[in-house]
Amino acid sequence: MSIYKYSAAALSGEEVSLETWRGRVLLIVNTASECGFTPQYAGLEELYRKHEAAGLTVLGFPCNQFGAQEPGDAAQIGAFCSKNYGVTFPMFAKVDVKGPNAHQLFQYLTQAKPGILGTEAIKWNFTKFLIDRSGEPVARYAPQTKPEELEQPIVKLL
């Protein structure tokens, strides 16, 4: 099983298959614009720009399930990310990442890579999943893990 069987709506509303990124290393992150971890957008963008040519893509999935910290619509989210952090990596429309309406991609990721003590549920914004070139989840990182701390594991997969 790999992530390539899933798709999600981009900020533009267009449905995009994760097959688009087959053969690339992916960092999938649930994001929010009004979170204490929001400044991580800068580090995620830096990782993306530094390693994109070698095969890294960061995918951002806004989520409003944690403290209602992503209240905006797609246009507002896109404008915020671009204006404040210069985000150029692909961003998707808001999704649920936990609970009965969780997007299928996040259901798969949390089952494949449970968190601390085996809990599957995502606990907060900016949880990160590292995916290898064959579409297999290889690691899950807590919101507190800064993007720059992921450089070594990413480089190993590139």
The residues carrying an active-site annotation are 35
In which element (H, E) is residue 109 found? Answer: helix 104-112
Cα(37)–Cα(60) distance, rounded to whole angstroms?
14
139-145's contacts with Cβ under 8 Å and 24+ in sequence apart are: 139/113, 140/109, 140/113, 140/114, 140/115, 142/115, 142/116, 143/37, 144/37
In the structure encoding, which two tokens stand for residue 8, read together? Answer: 């999600």
Packing angle, helices 40-51 and 74-85, rounded to 10 = 80
Cα(103)–Cα(119) distance, rounded to whole angstroms?
17
To which residue do tokens 């290889």 refer? 138
